Amino acid sequence: MIPLLGRPDAPWLPFVLAICACSSSGARPDATDAGGDGASVRIDGGVSAQPDDAGADAGPGRASCVGLPPTCGPAGTADCCASPPVAGGTCNRSNDARFPATVSDFRLDAFEISVGRYRKFTAAYPGNKPKAGAGKNPNDPSDKGWDPAWDGRLPATQQLAVANVKCMAPIMFSDVPGPNDGKPVNCLDWYTAQAFCIWDGGRLPTEAEWNYAAAGGSEQRAYPWSNPPSSDVVDATFAVFAPPATAPAAGGSKSPKGDGKYGHADLAGNVWEWTVDNYTVVSGAPYGSTYSVNPCKDCADRGAGTSRVIRGGAYDANGPTLGTIVRNDQKPDGRAPQIGARCARSP
């Protein structure tokens, strides 16, 4: 990826995202590899208040939740498997009226994939790798589900599935249950995140779904918690970001104050979240300023892009980076302590 420094079209933001490229062999490429290791993140600019009350319905039972104690939320007693419903509608992607998107009803997990849930995934690995066509979005006829060509991008063994999420400090994953179980697993690459969500009965959200939930649908919130929607108030009582954060915190540690309209925690800060979409460069357009699929009805960019969209900012990002208009991208095999995911599901 192209580093932030040297990009005349990229705004300056005071943090750098270090990336390790993952491989099925477990080898870590040289830090100067253009495929991602050591690359700086490219960020588009960005620009708060009590969220609406929304019940965090747990939704259908899922493999990662069997026997999982509640360790999320500010007191560590909330169900990490909650998956609130999101009523469909229309919003403007990145709060830009040129790029409307309509999404159908769906569920989005209230919390990012936790360490405890990911440990369940590794315990069943590699026998739980996705089958061809699994994980289709029922609202999108163009979605062909898991592509068997991706099989070789997954870790080959259980040991690698564990080692890959220990890419560099701060490491959240632990081999046995412990105090990090409610924190988001980090160092997730796109392929493993998608495989996890499919095994768990879901899929990665489309960028349009993620944007819709974070912006409060048609309210077009500046931040997930913004009330009124135009409020640009952001501080450490709403989200996990820098300063003062130096590592991810337990999922929902800022709830309910930092939650979005539909009851989702950490849609801003903590870790960047993968979406299913490719990031397609639009010729002549500034980075992150336009969408290749427009208009959008339950759409995803499934083009030939070489990177995938990540959203939401992370613990080492600054306040404006957490805004709902901010888009970022990363190589799908990139791993970093700032990157995790959450899953979407059928309603």
The 10 Å CB-count burial string (b at 16+, else e) for 135-163 is: bbbebbeebeebeeebbebbbeeeebbbb
- Say how far apart CA 138 and CA 310 lie, in whole Å: 22
Residue 303 lies in a domain: yes
- Tell me what pLDDT residue 20 has: 53
- Tell me what pLDDT residue 290 has: 84
What pTM was estimated for this model as a whole?
Answer: 0.85
Q: Which two tokens stand for residue 167?
A: 């890419």
- Say how far apart CA 108 and CA 347 lie, in whole Å: 9
- Say how far apart CA 49 and CA 94 lie, in whole Å: 20
pLDDT exceeds 80 at position 23: no
- Tell me what pLDDT residue 43 has: 30
Please tell me the total count of domains within the chain. 1
pLDDT exceeds 60 at position 8: no
CATH code of the domain containing 233: 3.90.1580.10
Residue 27 lies in a domain: no
Q: Give the pLDDT confidence of 239-293 residue by residue, as tens digits.
A: 999 999 999 999 999 999 999 999 999 999 999 999 999 998 777 777 777 898 9
3-state secondary structure of 159: helix
- Tell me what pLDDT residue 27 has: 36
- Tell me which residue range forms the domain holding 211: 48-347
- Tell me what pLDDT residue 57 has: 52
- Say how far apart CA 58 and CA 67 lie, in whole Å: 14
Proportion of the chain above pLDDT 70, given as a percent: 82
Q: Give the pLDDT confidence of 24-82 residue by residue, as tens digits.
A: 433 333 322 223 322 223 333 332 222 333 334 544 458 999 999 999 999 999 999 99
